Structure 1
């Protein structure tokens, strides 16, 4: 280890190959930090495993995406050693179970218990990461966090894979959706829009998930709509490059209004214009990102028809898409935001 090099301890049973984690780990390395991984056998007693195993004291403890269950043990261990702890939840368990999956009613005892549990976890961290300004506001309001405790770092895309490419030379314009066919994405809105659209556009929906069968039934007999199976992650950029226009999400939930999905980051990075639902998560307007009202098939059909009518402008829109990505969501932006956050810990 280089003299004076700082160390960050990535704590928890996380996936280092998940794109959010991989991009942040690369940013830490680029900033000169040394990464140490601690993957405990049991999350609840991980602090004791760390003690008994003689885990070296780092300069920072980092809790990565989705690892709520690791927070308490990590916070006990870090607090006893006066090491700052940063939590990057990416999602809220309370939000997911109560509002997205509707497993518990908002006013139920189970919802209140889950809220109190997650509120205590967010309070235990020195800093909490949000991926969008919308999520930052949600965390602050839901978990009573001061805004000074929250930092926004975009998800971004893996730029070694998702590279800008010239538009394809398709005879028929292709609009591509890829995803997990969940309600937040509203793939049914895409199918209905394809049926309403009078322009000669081919609509492709790629992936698998709970709403795919219903979408296939809705699309029966529609020659302009086709479905493709899930692709390995490394093959996704090439598939994006074959399409003219990419489709984001169109759900009507509060969460859908707060997120920027991976598919949007990746598509913009590939230099493809994107149509997605309106969201305050986006920092400003761009010719490369066409925002429409959520849950509105007719608005999507009309936007697609307009792009078809002005097909000669798609290349310029693709260039604008990549420029928008570079300005607000690039891995350099991640690195810069992380650097500001790390500097703030020592003020």
Structure 2
């Protein structure tokens, strides 16, 4: 097949589409990218709900990107017929442009998270009201524009409107080849346990509980934790963890450097939040940490159990004591740590490698899909 990966997606902020592209190419398909990243991250887009007067800025930026996408699409079509169009994550608007440009071509939407769900999780829109109605309308229009909808968990499939279930396919987020190429470091048992967290400090991540767990580990010199990233709960997390001198805070690590950086640690932390969204997602960092061969510690939620399986060590969501205890055990039992790292890596290779991730998607698209006249 010849695919067109299309949209304003940013693989550095949201690597999910990069995994799909890697997988399609590994499976033998031709993938042409027509991509112009929108210079606005998820937080910036959602923040506009609080400052609606900034919406014209979004429209202007989107319009500039779209003009280049239209030109790129024309060039791609001159080089050969397109069999399917893959619209990358955060493509709620892009998918409608794709539908307009490719009226008779199957359109695949990577619908990782709904706009309404993201805004609710970040406390910027309640369950009702005009803002939530607008976001649900945006979600609905995006889904209606797609022939195939890709979600990452059965829970997200269940959350789709009923009439979208038949065109949905569940695929794990997985990790790009760069994460599998990274290798965790071998350290002497006498060295501190190296733990890393990478994230944007949103309620989904549960960094308040993580901060409390770090405080509980203040007297544990054998556990060193590196916290990477910033976001709305960063200051609170840092204040809660202030008693621990063995915590290092880093603003960010560049995308190309991140796999090797994470792989230089023993343990990669997932999410620990108790929000509704936190109960229904499997974060990218969990797949990436396992692919890099780290021991992964994350919250015990149904989708993570189902999609990640034995690749992780689970603790109750929102339980700082349990999280601190899990890290103590790994620091004290290096044989158990080695087993956890090996198990995570093997499971990732069997289930999260790009070519395996896209298998169900390729089967779904290769099944005749009704196109629009």
| 1:297 maps to 2:316 | no
8 Å Cα contact 1:272-1:288 kept in structure 2 = no
1:192 pairs, out of 199, 212, 215, with: 212
8 Å Cα contact 1:166-1:315 kept in structure 2 = no
Equivalent in the alignment of 2:184: 165
Q: Deviations over 1:174-212 (max 9, x none)?
A: 222122222211222112112224654223212222322
- Residues 208/112 of structure 1: CA separation in 2 closer, same or farther (3 Å cut): closer
| Ranges in structure 2 where 5+ consecutive residues have no aligned partner | 37-61
Q: Deviations over 1:94-122 (max 9, x none)?
A: 1112x212322212133123213321320
1:61 pairs, out of 69, 73, 85, with: 85
TM-score, normalised via structure 2 length: 0.80
SS at match of 2:203: coil
Equivalent in the alignment of 1:278: 300
1:35 pairs, out of 31, 37, 49, with: 31
8 Å Cα contact 1:86-1:125 kept in structure 2 = yes
- Of structures 1 and 2, the one scoring higher in RCO (CA 8 A, sep 6+) is 2
- Residues 314/76 of structure 1: CA separation in 2 closer, same or farther (3 Å cut): same
**RMSD, aligned α-carbons:** 3.0
Equivalent in the alignment of 1:106: 127
CA distance in 2, matches of 1:172, 1:185: 25
CA distance in 2, matches of 1:29, 1:287: 28
8 Å Cα contact 2:178-2:259 kept in structure 1 = no
8 Å Cα contact 1:191-1:225 kept in structure 2 = no
- Residues 261/120 of structure 1: CA separation in 2 closer, same or farther (3 Å cut): same
How do 1:199-238 residues align onto structure 2 when only pairs under 5 Å count?
199=220, 200-238=222-260
How do 1:96-135 residues align onto structure 2 when only pairs under 5 Å count?
96-97=118-119, 99-135=120-156
Count of aligned positions: 336
SS at match of 1:184: helix
1:328 pairs, out of 335, 341, 351, with: 351
8 Å Cα contact 1:44-1:70 kept in structure 2 = no
| Ranges in structure 1 where 5+ consecutive residues have no aligned partner | 1-5
- Bigger mean CA deviation after superposition, 270-279 or 223-232: 223-232
Equivalent in the alignment of 1:14: 9
From the two aligned structures, give the one with the greater helix fraction. 2
TM-score, normalised via structure 1 length: 0.85
2:366 pairs, out of 340, 343, 346, with: 343
Q: CA deviation at 1:331?
A: 1.6
